[in-house]
Amino acid sequence: MRIAMIGTGYVGLVSGACFAEFGHDVVCVDRDEAKIRMLREGRIPIYEPGLDALVQRHGEAGRLAFSTDLKGSVADVDAVFIAVGTPTRRGDGHADLTYVFSAAEEIAAALTRPTVVVTKSTVPVGTGRKLQAIFRQHRPDLQVDIASNPEFLREGSAIEDFMRPDRVVCGVEGARAREVMEQAYRPLNLIETPILFTALETAELIKYATNSFLATKITFINELADLCERVGADVQVVAKGMGLDGRIGRKFLHAGPGFGGSCFPKDTLALIRTGEHHNSHLRIVETVVSVNEGRKRRMVRKVVSACGGVVEGKRIGVLGVTFKPNTDDMRDSPSLVIVPALQAEGAEVLAFDPEGQREAERMLPDVTWCEDPYAVAEGADALVVITEWNIFRGLDLDRLHASMRTPCIVDLRNIFDPETVARAGFAYTSIGRPAVAAG
């Protein structure tokens, strides 16, 4: 089938490339001429493992095109996916739907045949209904069906998540929208992926409920980690014991410095606003947001305490600044709270991140950026792991010890084994596990 994907950000680009992988003819549309030029040259503006090969393969096969011409691109397609940004609106925490509605009006003007318009962007409950009204108002002459098809892609594993999803959620009204969505995802029948057809509002809410529940699960284990430190328990083992219960599951129970990224912070806030708007307050999600923000500040205290209570004049090496590994995305990363706070208390901060430096440089001023983890440790009084990039797991502890001024590691992602690090002569602080003195 022929698909137009409006928006070539992280969701639009991955979805467009994967629909091409399904064998559909896809054109990805964006207003940003520079970005479209990059994509046409096979260069990818974001770091997402495997995306460059997918874009190149289908671009060369002629199944995946890039254009700034929305009108021409949507004129003769079976489905138009809206995958534009829905950032948190400044000031009030609602999702900003400016780009969604302006895309919808442009699409309405450009349609020439009955088409299904699908929201792939994460949009508040009720947006699909509003889009229905927009298309009925602008194009009473055309049968335009609205569908909601939220994505559940994790940065760093987005292609795998699209190609092998746990489920596909499609909010539809009418047989035509259902047929088009069944055709769009037909290749997934081969792996028997459940496709859940729901009402529009239900599909929209499933997305927010899923992300907010995952954020809740993470925040639960993060708070439990603090209790573990008080009672001498090991949060990793608590999480394992919990996760073996089929009703809980082991994923998203890794305690850390708090969640970040382009979705959890935005989606939890938007769901809270929806609850307020409908006078059905989501008090648990409200608490999750406040606990999570406070946690990033608590991590600063943990680092300062590990440095003897003062970081004034001390050199602190930071390993990893992105909000999670395998991405270059810095949005709402814990490092954006932790690093400036340490600098404000007089610390000199050096940092290394395999992919995040380009993004982070403009967001974290006065940081000395290093080429590798060992350079970060040179003369450092503490080494702080903020992002669990795999390359940090195998660092040569003896080499680190020899180059640091004070052998102290603060591991906010529990990537090291406490006994091993203590034996290597480090004072070691981590999350939800007893601190260990140098062995």
Chain residues binding ligand UDX by CB under 6 A are 151-155, 211, 214, 218, 252-254, 256, 259-261, 263-264, 323-324
- Measured between alpha carbons, how far is 14 from 62 in angstroms, rounded to an integer? 17
CB distance 210 to 152 below 8 Å: yes
- Measured between alpha carbons, how far is 289 from 292 in angstroms, rounded to an integer? 5
Which of 19/323 has CB closer to ligand UDX? 323
Q: How far is the CB of 2 from ligand UDX (least distance, A)?
A: 26
Residue 120 three-state SS: coil
Q: What crossing angle do the helices spanning 51-60 and 33-40 adopt, rounded to 10°? A: 80
User: Active-site residue among 170, 228, 263, 408?
Assistant: 263
Which of 108/263 has CB closer to ligand UDX? 263
CB distance 121 to 11 below 8 Å: yes
CB distance 197 to 177 below 8 Å: no
Question: In which region does residue 33 sit, left (phi positive, over 0), alpha (psi from -120 to 50) or beta (all else)?
Answer: alpha
Q: How far is the CB of 265 from ligand UDX (least distance, A)?
A: 9
Which of 259/428 has CB closer to ligand UDX? 259
Instruction: Please indicate whether residue 170 is annotated as part of the active site.
Output: no
Which of 266/315 has CB closer to ligand UDX? 266
Read off the DSSP letter of residue 154. P
387, two tokens:
């992002």
CB distance 163 to 190 below 8 Å: no
Q: How far is the CB of 175 from ligand UDX (least distance, A)?
A: 28
Q: How far is the CB of 155 from ligand UDX (least distance, A)?
A: 4
CB burial of 383-392 (b: ≥16 within 10 Å; e: otherwise) equals bbbbbbbeeb
Q: How far is the CB of 41 from ligand UDX (least distance, A)?
A: 26
* Terminal Cα distance for the chain, rounded: 64
Which of 129/154 has CB closer to ligand UDX? 154
Q: Which helix (H) or strand (E) holds 146?
A: strand 144-148
Active site residues: 263
